[in-house]
Amino acid sequence: MQKNPILNIKNLAIAFGDNQVIHNISYELFENEILGIVGESGSGKSVSSLAVLGLLPKKISKITSGQILFHNEDLTTISSKALQDIRGKKIAMIFQEPMSSLNPSMTCGKQVQEILLQHTKLSNQEAKEETLSLFEKVKLPNPSRVYDAYPHEISGGQKQRVMIAMAISCKPDILIADEPTTALDVTVQKDIIKLLKALQVETKMSIIFITHDLSLISEIADRILVMYKGDIVEKGDAHTIFHKAQHTYTKALISARPSLDTRLKVLPTIKDYLEGTIKDSIITYEDRKQKHEAIYSKPPLLEVINVEKEYISKSGWFSKPITFKAVNDVSFKLYEGETLGLVGESGCGKSTLGNAILQLDKATAGQILYKGTDITKLSNKAIKSLRKDIQIIFQDPYSSLNPRIPVGEAIMEPMQVHKLYNSNKERKTKVIEILERVGLSEDYFNRYPHEFSGGQRQRIGIARTIALQPKLIVCDESVSALDISVQAQVLNLLNELKDSFGFTYIFISHDLAVVKYMSDQLLVMNQGKIEELGDADTIYSTPNSAYTKKLIKAIPKGL
């Protein structure tokens, strides 16, 4: 089949200041295809596509060499006026964050209509009809309601559909989708992917789909580019990349994500691949069974009984306050040494439950028994000593460390507050020990958080948490913000620490694959209620509730 490249990028190099972020990349986008670009944060995948639209920040970035040919016209030399005509009309883009890319003070319909009026010669009435038909095309339920709705009145998935409607409103030749589903739940992600695929078939436009998730991209893209540190390390059609990856980086990327079928003892990291030291020992069914028998013979460490958390929102002076149960009648038992996975979509109440266990938010009803005592009724003083036992590891490694305190002090501070060890000197040696334990070195003691990468910061967060020698650790989406290869390292670290210190984890995540890899018991939550509770492997192989089935089905499995 003869194909014409619609977009041809030749030897493109981009620098931020003196820092070369894209080194001489070349690729083509053909008519009527979906091209996937995959890579970790900082690999240059977004920068290269922003360059196509001329949306790079002008002051700090510079295209140092190369051409971007769109229909044989070089977009790097074209005037900004001409580029504006192409932008939106010929090449459209959808962004990662649907929450912030719509104007909150305009109705969704008006925003789409505005683009139509800008770029086409339709009258107001025609534009409205066109908008409604676009909404229908992107399968928005009840298009006329959405037309008059403000962005805050519709869900995240619906917002992303409105964004897609906006992007395809002028029938562009190319649609660039930059992580369009990363902020969405898996079930919604699946729908959006389906929609994009259907739209592509229908309109015969070309799509550049950018993501960090290799298995997701394999479900949608025809061809895949793998980017690593500003270079294209591998390109080819989806099937070949997934099954016969040539480059070690691609191989590492594929296997760093926990598999749903087998349970490796240690997840392979990119470094393992580069050094060729992959351990593929598997935890067998028998190993697990043996371990579980030992764990479950003891009395539970934590018992949650009929816990409820109610939020009251008052909308007006005279209207009745509206109550909303974020956690509704949840009970489970947690045994010492096990990992309880808590999974569910955003807004299902999993973080609220975590906060209630940590006593950061008081539960409105029910009991939480820790070693037999009800911690919901403790005095403030007793809670302080409890804090030492129950700890949390946060989601965002960037905001969970105080930027003005050197990491060594940050780890030492909780020790001082809880009067662990006798002198600061003793504490300091302990801190260095912990830093080394999480894979950092003594040199880092006096450095500030902004001098570290995301993965390193997450290690520091973990170090601070284990400094108090807690019994129970709540990991609230602790690896969700990390790249897949870093995620594997952190998961390995968590498991290692668990083995050597005997921690008990409550592992909260929206990512079923990660939760399944980590957990002994699995708790599936939906709208504040327990949907299913049981052994992780059993739930995965034989889910009982319809919701769990849907959730498992929505996980991108790759080819």
Partner 1 sequence: MSYKSNSLKYLALQKFKKNFWGVFSFGFVVFVGIISVFAYVFAPDNSQYANQMHLSIHSKQPGFKVLMLIIPSQLKIEQSLVDKIFFGTKITDTETPISEYNVVERKLTYTEYASDGLKGVEKSVDLEVFPNQSVDGFIKERTFLFGTDKYGRDLLSRILVGARISFFIGFVAVFISLLLGILMGSIAGYFGGKIDAMIMWIINVTWSIPTLLLVIAITLALGKGFWQVFIAVGLTMWVEVARVVRGQVISVKEQQYVTAARALGFNDFRIITKHILPNIMAPVIVISAANFASAILIESGLSFLGIGAQPPMASWGAMIKDHYNYIILGKPYLAIIPGLCIMSLVMAFMLIGNALRDALDVKS
Nearer to partner 1, 24 or 364 (CB): 364
Name the minimum Å distance from CB 358 to partner 1: 6
**C-alpha angle with apex 474: 527 to 190, nearest 5 degrees?**
45
Residues lying near partner 1 in the complex (CB under 8 A) are found at: 358, 360, 383-385, 387-388, 391-392, 394-396, 399-406, 413-414, 417-418, 442-443, 445-448, 450-451, 461, 464, 468
Nearer to partner 1, 249 or 394 (CB): 394
**How many CB atoms neighbour CB 157 within 10 A?**
19
Nearer to partner 1, 214 or 463 (CB): 463
Task: Write the CB contacts of 110 (distance below 8 Å, at least 6 apart in sequence).
Answer: none
Q: Do β-strands 174-178 and 206-211 pair in parallel, antiparallel, or remain unpaired?
A: parallel
Closest CA to 235 of 42, 27, 484: 27
Give whole-number Cα distances, 164 to 96, 200, 210, 430, in Å.
Answer: 11, 12, 15, 53
Name the minimum Å distance from CB 400 to partner 1: 4
Nearer to partner 1, 19 or 144 (CB): 19
Distance CA 16, CA 513 (A): 36
Nearer to partner 1, 81 or 419 (CB): 419
Q: Which two tokens stand for residue 301?
A: 């460490």
Q: Which amino acid is at 536?
A: A
Edge-to-edge strand list for the sheet holding 73-74: 19-30, 5-16, 61-70, 73-74
Instruction: Collapse the DSSP code of 174 into the 3-class scheme (helix H, G, I; strand E, B; otherwise coil) and give the result.
Output: strand
Nearer to partner 1, 222 or 396 (CB): 396
Q: Which amino acid is at 46?
A: S
Distance CA 529, CA 520 (A): 20
Name the minimum Å distance from CB 264 to partner 1: 30
Taken in order 418, 423, 425, 429, the sign of the CA dihedral is negative
Give whole-number Cα distances, 266 to 274, 283, 347, 365, 539, in Å.
Answer: 16, 9, 31, 40, 22
Name the minimum Å distance from CB 450 to partner 1: 7
Nearer to partner 1, 25 or 390 (CB): 390
Name the minimum Å distance from CB 386 to partner 1: 8
Name the minimum Å distance from CB 64 to partner 1: 22
Instruction: List the beta bridge partners of residue 25.
Output: 12
Q: Which two tokens stand for residue 323?
A: 């109550």
Nearer to partner 1, 100 or 542 (CB): 100
Helical residues (DSSP H) of 269-373, grouped into ranges: 270-275, 285-296, 350-358
Are 499 and 320 spatial neighbours (Cβ–Cβ below 8 Å)?
no
Are 96 and 178 spatial neighbours (Cβ–Cβ below 8 Å)?
yes
Nearer to partner 1, 414 or 439 (CB): 414
Nearer to partner 1, 53 or 411 (CB): 411
192-231 exposure pattern, b = at least 16 Cβ within 10 A, e = fewer: bbebbbebbeebebbbbbbbbbbbbbbbbbbbbbbbbebb
Name the minimum Å distance from CB 399 to partner 1: 4
Instruction: Collapse the DSSP code of 105 into the 3-class scheme (helix H, G, I; strand E, B; otherwise coil) and give the result.
Output: coil
Name the minimum Å distance from CB 406 to partner 1: 6
Name the minimum Å distance from CB 385 to partner 1: 8
Q: Which two tokens stand for residue 526?
A: 């939906």
Nearer to partner 1, 416 or 541 (CB): 416
Nearer to partner 1, 395 or 521 (CB): 395
Name the minimum Å distance from CB 463 to partner 1: 12
Q: What is the DSSP letter of 234?
A: E
Name the minimum Å distance from CB 55 to partner 1: 19
Nearer to partner 1, 261 or 443 (CB): 443
**194 φψ region: left (φ > 0), alpha (ψ -120 to 50), beta (else):** alpha
Name the minimum Å distance from CB 464 to partner 1: 7
Are 139 and 194 spatial neighbours (Cβ–Cβ below 8 Å)?
no
Please measure the distance between the N-terminal and C-terminal CA atoms of the chain and give it in whole angstroms: 24
Instruction: Collapse the DSSP code of 206 into the 3-class scheme (helix H, G, I; strand E, B; otherwise coil) and give the result.
Output: strand
Q: Which amino acid is at 69?
A: L
Name the minimum Å distance from CB 354 to partner 1: 10
